[in-house]
Amino acid sequence: MSVHPRLRTLDIDIPAKPDILVRLSLLLADDDVNLQAIAELVERDMALAASVMKAVNSSLYGLKGRVQSVQQAVTYLGMREVAGITFEMGLRAAFPPAPELEPIWARATRRGLLMGRLGQALGGDAWGAHSAGLFEECGKAVLFRHASDHYRSMLRAAQSDVELCQLEHAGFGVSHDALGAALCESWGLGTAAVASVRFHVQARDAVELPAPVGKRGILALSLVARALMDAPAELEDVVTRVAPQAELDATALLRAARRVYEQLEQAAANGR
């Protein structure tokens, strides 16, 4: 998919999708996914494989014993979560390292896991949900790379993402949610994932899902993941409000959210 023409006029560069992620996407698109081929593809890039192994063996996954190969990681975690780690590392590598970006990547990891596992538990598009969670704040990295000093001051000044979007519009003529959606389109993410990235700030502010009806499911999971990460006491209220908008069963969504949250908390506890 191409970047929206209006964004091209702003002279803000959107990084190209890394070649390894292009090849991984082709493998993931195959109806008969070859797990061994995925593992071999990741292992051929030594730096990426090392990053994937470091992530897999972190406390976030809580695996018993140390995983020694990407193939083992695929066996223990499954194709989607290993692909998610690979996409996360590829996304990180597209931008210069900076302390200001580290919280963004940390949130992306946890949000991607939460949304992917929620999607799986509900029988929905688990990979679309996982990738949307990973890429939700990627527009911030695009703007940081474009004008680091200017954007650093915006990150410090903004008290919320809504306020940050206002500052971005004033300073750059575009906000990070629109840029993030453009990067997602450019990298070939599904339309529901793109919609989730595009509308997540607006949806979170109003607890309403402005995306087209058929594309609201993943956006609803974004709001649920945000509640789990930042305001667990608000979880039930968020689920009650967004589930009908996305045509999801509120009871099933609430049950899945609590179970997935407990799984990640237990994994972290076991990995300490």
Give the list of residues 6+ apart from residue 147 with CB closer than 8 angstroms, or none: 171, 172
| Structural domains of the chain, ranges and CATH numbers in brackets | 19-93 (no CATH), 98-271 (1.10.3210.10)
Residue 193: partners with Cβ closer than 8 Å, 6 or more residues away: 128, 129, 131, 132, 135, 184, 218
What was the pLDDT predicted at 65?
Answer: 74
pTM of the model: 0.89
Q: Residue 216: in which H helix or E strand, if any? A: helix 216-230
* Cβ atoms of residues 238 and 248 within 8 Å: no
According to the model, what pLDDT value does residue 250 have?
A: 98
Confidence (pLDDT) at 5: 53
Q: What is the pLDDT of residue 2?
A: 41
Residue numbers of the chain with a pLDDT score lower than 50: 1-4, 8
Give Cβ neighbours of residue 9 (< 8 Å, ≥ 6 apart): none
Residue whose structure tokens are 């009806």:
213
Smallest Cα–Cα separation from 124: which of 80, 166, 88, 165?
A: 80
Q: pLDDT at position 10, please?
A: 62
Q: Which strand (E) or helix (H) includes residue 13?
A: none
User: Per the structure block, which two tokens stand in for 6?
Assistant: 């209006």
Asked if residue 138 lies in contact with residue 184, where contact means CB atoms within 8 angstroms, the answer is yes
Q: From CA 226, how far away is CA 204, in angstroms rounded?
A: 8
> 187, 159, 162: which is closest to 175 by C-alpha?
162
In three-state secondary structure terms, 45 is coil
Per-residue pLDDT of 229-268, as tens digits, reads: 999 999 999 999 999 999 999 999 999 999 999 988 887 7
